[in-house]
Amino acid sequence: MQLLVTGCAGFIGYHLCERLLDDGHEVVGVDDLSTGQLTNVNDLKARPRFRFVEHDIAEPLSIEEPFEIAYNLACPASPIDFGPRRLNILAVCSRGVWNMLDLCRRTGTRLLHTSTSEVYGNPREHPQRESYWGHVNPIGPRSCYDEGKRFAEALITNYANYHQVEARVARIFNTYGPRMRADDGRVLPNFITQGFAGKPLTVHGDGSQTRSFCYVTDMVDGIIRLANSDVTEPVNLGNPAEISILEFAREIVRLTGGKSEIAHVERPKDDPELRRPDITRARQHLGWEPKIDRAQGLARTVQWFEQYA
């Protein structure tokens, strides 16, 4: 099959392209390289059946060739981008998604859009099911991303129904693994780089807030299964194994040599208190659940950071 992947230079985008190429598909990758890594693109370009197009999807795409599936992963997603790239995030989630839908309508392509667990905001339901509408601050410091992704889901739902475009929506929870950007501001790269440097691991607040971490190969498998399924409702993809940030920091200290202390710093506004996916829908309709436990995944990730980051 010929497939399109936007955001191909990003962390999950790279791993998705790698898996699709390994499966024998032809892949056209699109990225504007604003937050993606050129190293990822160069490594993909070395593979047969991969072609790269540098482009910002907030501008109309001139690609007219037919694809079986277009995977849309294009959007800055790191908290450090929520300030300087806030308008770019909103543009990608609105004009960018609209452009992707227009492309899919013209070429008869199915769209797989990657949404996020952040559509649930700081949830009052735990674990989070797809039926939960969320608890989001529409004018807070995270609103460009949270509300941008919520708008994208509304746009896809209405556009797909009106124009009869096939679309699938994955709500991705925290994902980790090799090739994460060391400077992307997320908790795992922060902890690992601090640990290897022998610096204190900075835990926001008292660290009682929880997260659920899914290894990237499991996430990619879920995305592909959803793209090839008949499921038209949003589907949570993530690992239900929940851990507090404080305990997570302690795990990383052990894995990076055990020399770092833990320092508590001010917690960002609107930082979610709880995060754990209910993956019943994914289990029932996709036959999917994570296979890589946190011990395995963290060992692989820490080793990669030690060698390459």
> Element (H or E) spanning 252, and its range?
helix 245-255
Pick from 170, 147, 14: which is nearest to 93 by CA?
147
In angstroms, the CA 276 to CA 240 distance is: 5
What's at 80, amino acid-wise? I
145 is catalytic: yes
How far is it, in rounded angstroms, from Cα 108 to Cα 265?
50
Identify the active-site residue in 145, 159, 176, 215: 145
What are residue 211's DSSP bridge partners?
Answer: 243
Who contacts 232 (Cβ-Cβ below 8 Å, separation ≥6)?
160, 167, 168
User: Which letter does DSSP use for residue 60 in this model?
Assistant: P
CA 235 to chain centre: 14
> What value, to the nearest 5°, has the Cα angle with vertex 219 and ends 112 and 294?
165
Q: Report the helix count and the strand count for the chain, using DSSP H and E.
A: 10, 13
Catalytic residues: 145
